[in-house]
Copies of this chain bind each other. A is one copy, B any other.
């Protein structure tokens, strides 16, 4: 096999399997080349990814060790992605009666969702989560795409008790929208004790729903290692939760005048 062909295969394989260790020994046997040649190929790939700021190749030690691809997003690229998202969100036609905002279509675009997923994966990779938790319905796409880049499963808490998931654990929480007490539940089989959990959701006002997810994780004796939301509102400035990372801040929206002000969220200002 020619080096150029091997480089196509290796690049493809790594990009298709983020977070999965690739055994050099197995690869060398599979391709019928010396490990030293393979190491040179990987050095080229590593150097291009690092120059472009879109990935790392890490060496994982141990029995399941090998070379592992981790998604990265350069600061320049983050700003381009954010500019595109803010441009779409600034449209006054997104204002809905009652002071709500239509944002579903933004995260429904494959290119945008992919970029957002990569940004969250980059932000939270160092917390080494084992699983992503969200609550139905609109947080699911964000959980799914980030799960792909971090190579960890996601679980979805239900707002009603769902018969098709077996024994489950429930908790009550106060919804930020209407101040009503609501409940959410999660299948007992979903999360193992001691798991490191990343909470993701699409939208956050006061943080009542996320506080509910945190309470639910206490029932599972799991540790919440991070909380990320696509959009958080500036008001109320006092949230139910102490720390979170948002991609976008909804700073102001006025139905009467048709004005919408969206800004980059604390993703950009607070570095953990």
Interface positions of A (Cβ within 8 A of B) = 3-5, 7-9, 11-12, 15-17, 20, 44-45, 47-49, 52, 54-55, 96-98, 100-102, 104-105, 108-111, 113-114, 136-137, 140-141, 144-145, 147-148, 150-156, 158, 163-166, 187, 189-190
**Minimal beta-carbon separation of A69 from chain B (angstroms):** 10
What would 22 A/B residue contacts be, using CB atoms closer than 8 Å? A3-B4, A4-B4, A7-B11, A8-B44, A8-B45, A8-B49, A9-B48, A11-B12, A11-B15, A12-B52, A12-B55, A15-B15, A96-B165, A100-B164, A101-B164, A102-B165, A102-B189, A104-B190, A110-B150, A110-B151, A137-B137, A145-B148
**Minimal beta-carbon separation of A180 from chain B (angstroms):** 14
Set of chain B residues within 8 Å of A151, measured between Cβ atoms? 110-111
Cβ-defined partner of A108 (8 Å) among B8, B17, B109, B153: B153
Closest to A118 in B: B16
New A-B pairs, 20, CB < 8 Å, besides A102-B164, A111-B151, A113-B148: A3-B4, A8-B11, A9-B48, A11-B12, A12-B49, A12-B52, A12-B54, A12-B55, A96-B163, A102-B189, A104-B156, A104-B165, A110-B147, A113-B147, A136-B136, A136-B137, A137-B156, A140-B140, A141-B144, A141-B154
**Minimal beta-carbon separation of A63 from chain B (angstroms):** 19
Closest to A16 in B: B15
Set of chain B residues within 8 Å of A52, measured between Cβ atoms? 9, 12
Set of chain B residues within 8 Å of A97, measured between Cβ atoms? 166
Q: A45-B8, A163-B98 are in contact. Are A109 and B144 (CB under 8 A)?
A: no
